[in-house]
Chain A
Amino acid sequence: MTLRAQRLGTSGLGATRRWPILIPAWIAVAVLLVPLAALLVRVDWTRLPANVTSPLAIEAVRLSAITTSITLIIVILLGAPLAWVLARGRHRLMPWLRALVTVPLVLPPVVGGVALLAAWGRNGVVGGPLDALLGITIPFTTVAVIFAEVFVALPFYVISVEGSMRGLDPRYDAISATLGASPVRTFTRVVIPLVAPGMAAGAALAWARALGEFGATITFAGNFSGRTQTVPLAVFTALEQDPDAALALSVLMLTICVVVLGALRSRWIP
């Protein structure tokens, strides 16, 4: 069995015995790529330039670029320390904390939006006092879009980076400590440089998740061009009346994702 498992990875095995693995593998590839290819087939290429440069599209792309950039900065600033705590923490409740912070990963985004409203809404647990005492309301603002994006993207980053940090030999931080470095210095000078590829991979994942965020945003932040209408919301709104424009925006988003992830991959991710 072990022998067969090892030989499967090599090309020496006959095609007749590999097909039980190859056929489902190719079906999987088709399941993932056929819809994306269909986008490219159905899009009206002659109207594409006009569709992706319409005022609505430009506003949406601009807003998505700004919000996902700020989201990424927040995610890295908060996520890296949390990942380190989760990777090295020895408290018996640590596995529970890890499970809790990954809940947004599996939560339907709409539910995330409802939860964000319950917390930060005008009548929310935190948002209520915020509105009454300071006059600050978060829903229907660009800040709400960033809240929604951070909420869904942060767990992706934490889980990915925590994996790399866990794989780091604890002797590195022990040696750094014996040489007199403070925990902060150890973290910034030893840990972060060593897990940089993992952090880049996590950042790419988190950014892509933030870019695609729809359910929590439309529930919590609403939909208004230039303020809260990100690209996915613009696609959804356009779909009702102008499917061509929706297809064009979808192709644009697909291209941005492929280019950014491709660039990150060749540069940072092994």
Chain B
Amino acid sequence: MKRLVATSAVLVWVASGCGSAPDDTVTILAASSLADVMPQVIAVAERERPDEAFEVSYAASSQIVQQLNAGIDADAAVLAGQGPLASLDPSVAAGTPAVVATNTLAIALADGNPGRVTSLADLGNTDITLVLCAEQVPCGAAAAQMFHQTGINPTIASLEPDVRATLSKVVSGEADAGVVYVTDLVGQSVGHLDVRAEDQVVTTYPALSIDDSRSGADFVDLLSSDTAQKVLRDAGFGAP
């Protein structure tokens, strides 16, 4: 019995103490497509503010909005696309979100280009195996808009849950082509086709500070600084 009480006490202590970050930690929620670049941005932030610790949690932008509406304890959020902002509770984040980066689409091609894709219009061929992101995630919404505005009617093999799954289907050679973000191709050896500027769909990344957090607002400002912008540019993101 005594041991049970002791164990319960330890469990309660662990649950209450270890789960939540200490007050001087800046918690940032970021869209999954930022997962590769964010550690470098954080490195910049830590150099500028050595007295603060930063913690980043990645999720789909729509999930981040759900987390924020549910009252998650965070200082700042960086989302992919303006769409998810529509369902954000206005009392969570005051002020206009600052756009800190942009992203564009590219067509990833399987090794040897088995689908013989040489233009965006080729994605309308019925005999190629094409994978896109599901329309519920930003890369899928952008791809759907691109096909809509160019009048191309693609034959889709699969709507993948996120951009990484889409790219991996192409890298493994299961799909001939996939529509991904240009930033996903940085550092990858996979072949690709650029999308012409007039066909392009631009995804913006709005950043916002949560619950009037001072350090959150500072982090949003830092994202617009020259140093952070250079890091973002090197990772393939466009200027805001």
Q: Are A237 and B136 in contact (CB under 8 A)?
A: yes
**Residues of B contacting A243 in the complex (Cβ-Cβ under 8 angstroms):** 66
Q: Are A223 and B172 in contact (CB under 8 A)?
A: no
Is B97 on the interface with A (CB-CB < 8 A)? no
Interface of chain A, main secondary structure:
loop
**Residues of A contacting B66 in the complex (Cβ-Cβ under 8 angstroms):** 243
Is B62 on the interface with A (CB-CB < 8 A)? yes
A218 to B158, CA, bound (A): 9
CB 8 Å contact bits of A211-241 with B (1 = contact, 0 = none): 0000000100111110011000000111011
Is B11 on the interface with A (CB-CB < 8 A)? no
**Residues of B contacting A229 in the complex (Cβ-Cβ under 8 angstroms):** 159
Q: Are A222 and B172 in contact (CB under 8 A)?
A: no
**Given A123-B174, A240-B60, A240-B63; A224-B157 close (CB under 8 Å):** yes
Q: Are B137 and A223 in contact (CB under 8 A)?
A: no
Q: Are B174 and A240 in contact (CB under 8 A)?
A: no
Q: Are A140 and B172 in contact (CB under 8 A)?
A: no
Q: Among A223, A236, A240, point to the contact of B158 (Cβ < 8 A).
A: A223
Q: Are A240 and B136 in contact (CB under 8 A)?
A: yes
Q: Are A224 and B172 in contact (CB under 8 A)?
A: no
Q: Among B63, B137, B160, point to the contact of A222 (Cβ < 8 A).
A: B160
Is B217 on the interface with A (CB-CB < 8 A)? no
Is A155 on the interface with B (CB-CB < 8 A)? no
Q: Are A123 and B173 in contact (CB under 8 A)?
A: yes
Is B169 on the interface with A (CB-CB < 8 A)? yes
Q: How far is the CB of B14 from chain A (nearest CB, A)?
A: 18
**Given A122-B174, A240-B63, A241-B62; A140-B158 close (CB under 8 Å):** yes
**Residues of A contacting B173 in the complex (Cβ-Cβ under 8 angstroms):** 121-123
**Residues of A contacting B134 in the complex (Cβ-Cβ under 8 angstroms):** 223, 237, 240
Q: Are A236 and B161 in contact (CB under 8 A)?
A: yes
How many B residues touch A, CB cutoff 8 Å? 21
Q: Are A223 and B161 in contact (CB under 8 A)?
A: yes
**Residues of B contacting A140 in the complex (Cβ-Cβ under 8 angstroms):** 129, 157-158, 174-175
Is B131 on the interface with A (CB-CB < 8 A)? yes
Which residues between 132 and 154 of chain A lie within 8 Å of chain B, taking CB atoms?
Answer: 137, 139-140
Is A117 on the interface with B (CB-CB < 8 A)? yes
Q: How far is the CB of B172 from chain A (nearest CB, A)?
A: 7
Q: Are B62 and A240 in contact (CB under 8 A)?
A: yes
Nearest residue, chain B, Cβ from A240: B136
Q: Are A222 and B131 in contact (CB under 8 A)?
A: yes
Q: Are A121 and B172 in contact (CB under 8 A)?
A: yes
How many A residues touch B, CB cutoff 8 Å? 21
Q: How far is the CB of A59 from chain B (nearest CB, A)?
A: 13
Q: Are A123 and B169 in contact (CB under 8 A)?
A: no
Is B43 on the interface with A (CB-CB < 8 A)? no
Q: Are B157 and A222 in contact (CB under 8 A)?
A: yes
Nearest residue, chain B, Cβ from A238: B136
**Residues of B contacting A221 in the complex (Cβ-Cβ under 8 angstroms):** 158
Nearest residue, chain A, Cβ from B131: A222
Q: Are A121 and B159 in contact (CB under 8 A)?
A: no
**Residues of A contacting B72 in the complex (Cβ-Cβ under 8 angstroms):** none
Is B94 on the interface with A (CB-CB < 8 A)? no
**Residues of B contacting A123 in the complex (Cβ-Cβ under 8 angstroms):** 172-174
Q: How far is the CB of B160 from chain A (nearest CB, A)?
A: 6
Q: How far is the CB of A215 from chain B (nearest CB, A)?
A: 11
Which residues between 58 and 86 of chain B lie within 8 Å of chain A, taking CB atoms?
Answer: 60, 62-63, 66
Is B156 on the interface with A (CB-CB < 8 A)? yes
Q: How far is the CB of B196 from chain A (nearest CB, A)?
A: 27
A225 to B161, CA, bound (A): 13
**Residues of B contacting A228 in the complex (Cβ-Cβ under 8 angstroms):** 158
**Residues of B contacting A225 in the complex (Cβ-Cβ under 8 angstroms):** 159
A243 to B63, CA, bound (A): 10
Q: Are A223 and B160 in contact (CB under 8 A)?
A: yes
A137 to B169, CA, bound (A): 14
**Residues of B contacting A223 in the complex (Cβ-Cβ under 8 angstroms):** 134, 158-161
Chain B residues with CB under 8 Å of chain A are: 60, 62-63, 66, 129, 131, 134, 136-137, 156-161, 165, 169, 172-175
Chain A residues with CB under 8 Å of chain B are: 117, 121-123, 137, 139-140, 218, 221-225, 228-229, 236-238, 240-241, 243
**9 further interface pairs, Cβ-Cβ under 8 Å (given A121-B173, A222-B158, A222-B169):** A117-B174, A123-B173, A123-B174, A222-B157, A223-B160, A225-B159, A240-B63, A240-B137, A241-B136
Among all A-B residue pairs, the 5 with the closest Cβ atoms: A222-B158, A240-B136, A140-B157, A241-B136, A123-B173
